[in-house]
Structure 1
Amino acid sequence: MDKRPFDPKTDRIVTVTLDPNTITSVDPDEVHEWRIASYDLIDTNRFYPARVTAKGPYALHLSIVHNHIVLDVRHPETFKPIAAHYLSLTPFRGLIRDYFRIRESYYEAIRSASTHQIEAVDMGRRGLHNQAAELLIQRLDNKLVIDLETARRLFTLICAVQPYATRVTEEESQLPTILFVCSMNSVRSPIAAAMARRHFPGRLIARSAGVRSGKVDHFVHQVMEEIGVDMSVHTPHTMDELMASNFDIIITLADDARRAVAERGLHADVMEHWDLEDPSEVEGTRETALAAYRSLRDQLDRRLAQGLPALLEAVENGV
């Protein structure tokens, strides 16, 4: 395929998000590493999906399914899907192991080695990055077009997220699945899903979706960051993108969500409707808006902590 020159205004990634169901960690050092790798990629990259008419810039959403990392390219404002590619991790296993080995050697050299030794380790690290980047470009040929520096930074991000990813999908997992649905998957349902994972780590699979496409809400990021939950990795999803139609629990958080679940024939052993106000509709100052978002967060926190154990028990007992 003939590759066109990169347009610096449009051929770039401006947002990176991670799937919280398949890339999970409660270790702040690991989360910090993800953030740094994401910021580095966003800071400098040249990127566009091949064989599509959509123009950039782009959002990149990462998830891991079995032995593949999914590179899901989306519109950065509406998060409408543009192209998704499954990249097998098998060809990169040795390079990923070497990446961590050389990284530890580099950190050790900085602490105690001579300048000559540090330079030698750094040269090995650069060589590994170039080798991995070239392989990445080769494997993504005719799918995603990237330059060598972008490939280097994307490989670093892959290394940062994949050791801590769960490879268990909903189809294979014995954990109960819970779906939260609101209008646009920007505020209520993603906060609910994040709080459910926070209260019951390793005990459930929590997903969220919207009736229609929404945008990233930075007030959500701020109020969740206040309690130590990183929501900057969230990508809004619509119900059209759901891979399953059966869940153990479905909780709707808006009237149009309740209607949409019924119209689409989604099934769950337990279904509930929680009528919660959308804080994005509150008018007033920034502090007034933040107070409304904090109120929603705290309402969901209490309701999940008090009510979800009984719902999970009902599922487990087949009630």
Structure 2
Amino acid sequence: MQHPRLVIICTQNSARSQMTEAFFKKYGNDVLEVHSAGFEPTEVNPLAKQVMAEVGIDISSQRSKSVKEFLGRMQFGYVVAVCKKAEGRCPTIFPGVRKLFSWPFDDPAAVEGTDEEKLEKFREVRNDIEIKVQEFVNDYRKGLY
């Protein structure tokens, strides 16, 4: 049985969307097929890899992907936009989406300061993402989406 597809969208697909994808795979891989993509993909942020490893999740093999990799190839039931910049572009690029979710997390890569201050922001955003993904998956399992 094929699971409904969910795509997480961010501008660069380097941090927030990568962490969100990993948490969806951890908590909802048995009920959802999960992907992530960006409108201007770069590379997975090393600090995202580091803070995810701190909670036992290895994202070192994940890569930044362009939304173009999915256009015309996959239909998505759900889109989760994890930044405001990408959110406005989602409805027009993914037709037929059942529901668009807006989760505008702070961009941890935009934080300036010491290495420790940057890491703290990545940890804060990682923790916020984990909570939101757990809530979504729990609600999904209850049939709310």
Q: Give the TM-score normalised by the residue count of structure 1.
A: 0.43
Partner of 1:314: 144
Structure with higher Rg: it is: 1
Matched, 1:257 2:48: no
Partner of 1:279: 108
Structure 1 stretches of 4+ with a deviation exceeding 3 A read none
Q: Distance in 2 between matches of 1:256 and 1:276?
A: 11
Where 1:314 maps in the other structure, the secondary structure is coil
Matched, 1:292 2:143: no
Residue 259 of structure 1, CA deviation: 1.7
Residue 270 of structure 1, CA deviation: 1.8
- The aligned amino acid for 1:287 is E
- The aligned amino acid for 1:314 is L
Structure 1 residues 299 and 251: alpha-carbon distance in aligned structure 2, compared to 1, 3 A threshold: same
Q: Distance in 2 between matches of 1:265 and 1:233?
A: 26
1:220-235 maps to which residues of 2 (within 5 A)? 220-235=48-63
- The aligned amino acid for 2:144 is A
Residue 274 of structure 1, CA deviation: 0.8
Partner of 1:242: 70
Q: Distance in 2 between matches of 1:266 and 1:209?
A: 16
Aligned residue pairs, count:
143
Residue 245 of structure 1, CA deviation: 4.8
Partner of 1:193: 21
Contact 1:245 1:267 (C-alpha < 8 Å) held by counterparts: no
Where 1:268 maps in the other structure, the secondary structure is coil
Residue 175 of structure 1, CA deviation: 1.0
Identity %: 24
Q: Which runs of 5+ in 1 are unaligned?
A: 1-172
- The aligned amino acid for 1:305 is Q
Matched, 1:213 2:41: yes
1:125-164 maps to which residues of 2 (within 5 A)? none
Q: CA RMSD in A?
A: 1.6
Q: Which runs of 5+ in 2 are unaligned?
A: none
Query: Which is richer in strand?
Result: 1
Contact 2:81 2:102 (C-alpha < 8 Å) held by counterparts: yes
1:51-130 maps to which residues of 2 (within 5 A)? none
Contact 1:178 1:204 (C-alpha < 8 Å) held by counterparts: yes
Where 2:90 maps in the other structure, the secondary structure is helix
Q: Which has the higher contact order (CA 8 A, sep 6+)?
A: 2
Q: Distance in 2 between matches of 1:249 and 1:263?
A: 14
